[in-house]
Amino acid sequence: MINKLMELTRLDGISGDEQVVRQAILKDIRNEALDYQTDSIGNLIVNAKTTGEYNFRVMLSAHMDEVGFMINGITDDGKLKFASVGGIDPRILIGQQLRVGTKKIPGVIGYKPIHLQDKAERESVVRLKNLYIDVGAKDREQAGSLAALGDSIAFASAPVMFGKTRLKAKALDDRVGCVILLELLKQVWPFEMVACFTVQEEVGLRGARVAANRIQPDIAVVLEGTTCADVPGVKEHEFSTILGKGPAISFADRTSIGDRKLIDHFVKTAQDEGISYQWKQTVSGGNDAGKIQTSVKGVRVISISAPCRYIHSPVSCLDTEDVENMLKLVRAALIKLPHLLRGRNEG
């Protein structure tokens, strides 16, 4: 599974431009002989194999897209101007290596040299509009032959294992959720389960809204990569999550509130099975659950996430043991899900 995760992070799938990631995932789906469809917005919707023993529908969701950039201008001297796609901290960008456009042209983000900056510039946070991308072009015409307005731009960052169990890569948010979906699709389920590899999560949870309205699930489980700030200079109560302490269960974020019975079910499953887990301690951010929860007539949702340090950067880091425990927890909780729903129906 970790090798598959590394493979997926090597691919570029900026929001609205996810087709390369989708095609890679489709190879695995076809190998499992599963029914699938791609909707008009680009979501990949896959029907898991089922015995049909129980009459309810579960939607699993993980997004294929990643943060990145888009070309919105070309200067006379051949530099590319750009806008961010998704939330990225401009302070990490100077000097970053990139892959530009469909041709994957090498580029680097540049800024005025420090010895030419005045005091105010040196002491302020750099603004995105003052950065540019150098692709080695000498003028506007040459740059235009390499890339075009509207082209997507991705971080050029290869996955690297370091320490004993740590993985550094771009796009861990949310290729980690995608690989777990692929693992869960390898087995037969006693209820209807629909796995959704969604698009455009990073720019407004757009794909999830479309998919949920189509599927109309009874329950949704969102699999994510989430913030982890267990680093020097951050107070313990601000950590959000801690690397290596297990998958994080969210009680709420800025877009959704988790269903209490589902949360209790996942927590009890983790405790009964001896699976490490933790709470996401900050009510921040958002994910596909926000749109799924309010789709159609309303859906009971829960979010389970892998902690990722330096999220939305080219060097995001996770602990592979958290990923393994995330799969164990979600699989075990789903297997026991009919017992939860039977108890609810009898009550």
What 3-state class would DSSP assign to 317?
Answer: strand
- The residue among 22, 335, 60, 36 whose CA lies nearest residue 187 is 335
Residue 259's contacts (CB-CB under 8 Å, 6 or more residues apart) are 219, 300, 301, 302
Q: In this structure, what token pair is assigned to residue 262?
A: 């589902």
Q: How many Å apart are CA 127 and CA 92, to the nearest integer?
A: 11
Among residues 254, 227, 256, the alpha carbon closest in space to that of 242 is found at: 227
* Residue 237 amino acid letter: H
Kindly report each contact of residues 34-41 with a partner whose C-beta sits within 8 Å and lies 24 or more positions away, as own/partner.
Answer: 34/185, 39/210, 39/211, 39/214, 40/210, 41/199, 41/200, 41/206, 41/207, 41/210
- Residue 344's Cβ-count burial label (10 Å; 0-12, 13-18, 19+) is exposed
DSSP annotation of 284: -
- Please list, in sequence order, all residues whose beta carbon lies within 8 angstroms of the beta carbon of residue 146, skipping any fewer than 6 positions away: 100, 101, 103, 105, 135, 137
User: How buried is residue 55: exposed, middle or buried, by Cβ count under 10 Å (0-12/13-18/19+)?
Assistant: exposed
Q: Is 273 a catalytic residue?
A: no
Active-site annotation holder among 66, 201, 202, 324: 201
CB neighbour list of residue 72: distance below 8 Å, 6 or more residues apart: 81, 82, 83, 149, 150
Nearest Cα to Cα of residue 248 among 312, 325, 176, 316: 325
Q: How far, in Å, CA of 27 to CA of 46, rounded?
A: 12
Two tokens, residue 299? 């859906």
Catalytic residues: 201
